Amino acid sequence: MNYPYIIIDDNQESVLKTKAIADGFSELLFVASANNYADGLNLVLEHTPKIIFLEIDPADKASNLSLALINELYRYLKVVPKIIITTIKKDLAFDAIQYEVADYMIKPVQRIDLVKSLLKLKKSTGEDEVFFTRTADLDNSSKLQEAQTPDSLVSVGVQNSESPLILCVKSYGDYRYIDTRDISYLQADNNSTDIYLNNGEMITAFKTLKHFEGVLPHPFVRIHNSYIVNRNCISRIHTGNAVCYIKNTTVKVPFSKSYKPNVDVIISDFANGNYLEI
């Protein structure tokens, strides 16, 4: 079963981080995001998602985000989506319980927290099937989630948490297995996508870049209409020239203004790691 979701959060960086975690689950389908009460309410009423990730203690008080949004939803909807609170403090947890929210998560959202939340949700709805994440399989079995086309398949190998994610590009009986850690970046080519490996090899898959954006989890980040980059393969980011440099190559992958927030998250992720700035 699929769960379309909307993120309502006044902090765009938090939106992108929550989406990056949610993108690792095959059932979670991103619909849209909003940064304030009014836009969030309109999005929910228009798209009627099954899950809402909601910030209730915004840094920008003008956004008017709060638990009051839940009351407003009950005015219009017979079935209110499952609400997952995402915030940086525990202070409002008791208040949130009074609104019967599905879960309360401390930001930044962790993958294991979302795993638990989805399990509780499936249990409450009586679903028995195993759900798949794009980075791990909860029962440690090895399976393939296949995207069907007449002449080509692009499958994501669902591995246990200690194994790398394997991408299978299949064409006319030819199965090509790619360790996603070996992918430097992907480039759109009309209705196909060129996959560039860190050994210089290029493989073409007959799927759109948007398809790969939907199935590849972190550290893959879309930075341009034509490019997805492996964050771990970036050696340099030049914001003035709007390019990312790929490790051990002379390749410079451009990023566009519309995807600049994604690049800002990459820069932030580097700074939050084992990092020394000089």
11, β-bridge pairs: none
Q: Is the pLDDT of residue 48 over 70?
A: yes
Q: What is the pLDDT of residues 63-82, one digit of tens each?
A: 999 999 999 999 999 899 99
Q: Which CATH architecture has domain 3-124?
A: 3-Layer(aba) Sandwich (3.40)
Q: Is the pLDDT of residue 121 over 90?
A: no
Instruction: Report residue 236: phi and psi, to 5°.
Output: -160, 145
Residue 132: what residue type?
F
pLDDT at res. 162:
52
CA neighbor of 170 nearest in space, from 149, 187, 186: 149
SS3 label, residue 64: coil
Q: Is the pLDDT of residue 24 over 90?
A: no
**Fold of the domain spanning 143-272:** OB fold (Dihydrolipoamide Acetyltransferase, E2P) (2.40.50)
CA neighbor of 42 nearest in space, from 69, 9, 12, 82: 69
Q: What is the mean pLDDT of residues 97-120?
A: 90
- The average confidence (pLDDT) of the chain is 85
Percent over 70 (pLDDT), the chain: 86
Domain regions of the chain by residue span: 3-124, 143-272
Question: Among 118-122, 135-139, 198-202, where is mean pLDDT lowest?
Answer: 135-139
In the chain, which ranges are E strands?
3-8, 28-34, 51-54, 82-87, 103-106, 143-147, 152-158, 166-171, 174-179, 183-189, 192-197, 202-205, 220-224, 227-230, 234-238, 243-246, 252-254
